[in-house]
Amino acid sequence: MGLDLYNNSPIAKKLFEQLELIKPGTMSLCFNGTKEELTQTKNTQPCLYCVDLAAALSLYENGVTPDVLAGFSLGELAALSFAGSMSYEDGFKIVCKRGEYMQDAGDERESSMIAVVKLDNETVENLCKKYNEVYPVNYNYPGQLVVSGLKAEMELFKLDVKEAGGKALPLSVSGAFHSPFMLSAEKRFKEYLKEFEFNLPKIPVYSNCTAVPYTQDVAALLTSQLMNPVLWQKSVENMMNNGVDTFIEVGVGKTLSGFISKISQDVSVYNIEDMESLRRTVEEVKRC
């Protein structure tokens, strides 16, 4: 992932090489990493940060400037870096530690995440309440809510989902993120962030925790994000209510594009992950 941008976008190439100096081997993981390697969050997060930011900078290099920004979980750090809350290098250092801490926290106990579809949020929330360690965590779009939990309880929870008429889809992740399972990661991350100074973003960045733009301490919200739900649907709805009618997903795949299209059919949605999608998106956006 990101290789086409590296080979063809000067600004993306410069970024990858800057960040490679901080963590050698990152480019190899991005361009040639195996599924097993990239499933480990200590590898996933630095790679996604690189590709997200490279795609955003390539778009900016081609004359498209965002009015607002948002990022899903790890992507929020790329958005904040792009918006000037921190340097690209500091953002990368923070991401590397975030991934390491979350990996360690995930290894402490047998936990997992599943996406529940075909049920409304309230039903899923009520099913979670039946268990001691099952939590609703990612509010993606109407009809999909991701849940984190203890593996032993999740097996029973999946049966409840099926009985309620829903479907449980296991996620290939290395821990129960955005839940109390990340307590040790949150403590370590909070301490690590004391080494950095943050600015409020120059472009509004919608927070996963609040679903509104950052107006307070950046480090505090970034820390809170580890143990709190990602309010993605609410963030998109708030952006739309504030006049946003065009969304461009930057980075690997079209997952968020799919989420946004399920939230509303009244907005334009594009994605950028390589040069072909970059050219297509720039042409479409400039035509509007």
Which tokens hold the place of 13? 């190439």
Provide the b/e sequence for 209-235 (b: ≥16 CB within 10 Å). Answer: bbbebbeeebbebbbbbbbbbbbbbbb
Instruction: Determine the Cα–Cα distance for residues 71 and 180; give it in Å rounded to an integer.
Output: 21
Find the radius of gyration of the CA atoms of the chain. Answer: 18
Contact predicate 109/181, CB 8 Å: yes
| Catalytic site includes residue 178 | yes
Q: Exactly one of 178, 179, 207, 277 is catalytic; name it.
A: 178
- Which one is catalytic: 9, 58, 73, 85? 73
d(CA 95, CA 137): 20
Contacts of 148 (CB under 8 A, 6+ apart): 111, 112, 113, 134, 135, 137, 176, 177, 178, 179, 181
Residues forming the active site: 73, 178
